[in-house]
Amino acid sequence: MRIAIIGAGAMGSLFGSMLSSVSTVYLIDPFEAHIQAINKNGLIVEKTDGPSETYHLFAFTDPDKVEPGVDLAIIFTKSCQTEEAAKTAKLLLGQKGLALTLQNGLGNLEVIEKVLGKDRAVAGVTSHGGTLIGPGHTRHAGQGPTYIANSPENAQSLNRIVETFRAGGIDVSLSENLDSLIWGKLLINVGINALAAILRVPNGILGITPECEKIMGNAVSEAAAVVKALGIQLPYKNPLEQVRKVCANTAENRASMLQDILKRAGTEVSVINRAIAEKGKALGIPTPYNIFLSEIIEALEATSEKRI
């Protein structure tokens, strides 16, 4: 397969490295120093279970340098960049090519569908964790299953994607319940991302510190109440227990929102904790913890240039 990864930060680079052994992979990202480092020295990936490895991939800041006709475009950008990423995918995809979003939060699939059409866009979630250490250098900070929503009209393409992912060492399955996938991942992010960013700690600390777990538990409980009111079946029985499990499995990982705050960049809080707060308001469900976590992250964003 020819695969374009649009958004080659920690997760995009990580997936690119795994898929590069079985596919032709193109990394596309505006972070010029990162792209230059990959082209000069290769992509260095620190493994969770072994020494670092270096991968040599095609990497570009300008998507026009990628020959059109790719089979798969994987979108890993921040949610605020989804529409632009979808437009890039539209330029690069072949006639039967698909765009797959493995992004965080709510609403990304709908944005991509508006650009590409419902028959060209699919959604998935992944439990892998990645941390960008520096230009051309990422850490594989946690492993877990990846799920892609099944689509009968795209059965042949999806089966090919699954085979390719598995050949690259990615544990992937097709799922019949898209809402369950997205909301299941959302609750994980609700529990981990904002709190890790505010406290500036790796994921593992949240699950072993009672003071952290109290806040995490309340935020997750609010989100679970919203999910119940929407009639959505989560892919696990105990949301907080699942969040604890992910914290343990990605103990050394720096959550994506923490990485954004440390870089003084915008975060995805609007499609995670703030999304829960807005859904809760519409349903008449109190979400004080998610509101507060959202407000703190938004205040951190607003004061990023004044930080001591």
pLDDT digits (tens, 9 = 90+) for 240-255: 999 999 999 889 889 9
Tell me the whole-structure pTM to 2 decimals.
0.90
Residue 121 tokens read as 């866009």
Residue 146 CA to residue 163 CA, distance in Å, equals 13
Task: Please enumerate in sequence order all residues whose Cβ is within 8 A of that of 131, keeping only pairs 6 or more positions apart, or say none.
Answer: 10, 138, 139, 141, 252, 253, 254, 259
Residue 57 CA to residue 28 CA, distance in Å, equals 11
pLDDT digits (tens, 9 = 90+) for 139-175: 998 888 899 999 888 999 999 999 999 999 999 999 9
Model confidence at 178, pLDDT cuts 50, 70, 90, reads confident
Q: What is the three-class DSSP state of 23?
A: coil
Q: Are 195 and 206 in contact (CB under 8 A)?
A: yes
> Exposed, middle or buried by CB within 10 Å (0-12, 13-18, 19+), for 69?
exposed
Q: What is the three-class DSSP state of 159?
A: helix
pLDDT digits (tens, 9 = 90+) for 276-297: 999 999 999 999 999 999 999 9
pLDDT digits (tens, 9 = 90+) for 87-123: 999 999 999 999 999 999 999 999 999 999 999 999 9
How crowded is residue 121: how many other Cβ atoms within 10 Å of its Cβ? Answer: 26
Q: Are 8 and 76 in contact (CB under 8 A)?
A: yes
Q: If you average pLDDT over every residue of the chain, what do you get?
A: 95
Query: Which structural domains are found in the chain, ordered by start?
Result: 2-176 (3.40.50.720), 179-306 (1.10.1040.10)
Q: Say whether pLDDT at 54 is over 80.
A: yes
Model confidence at 49, pLDDT cuts 50, 70, 90, reads confident
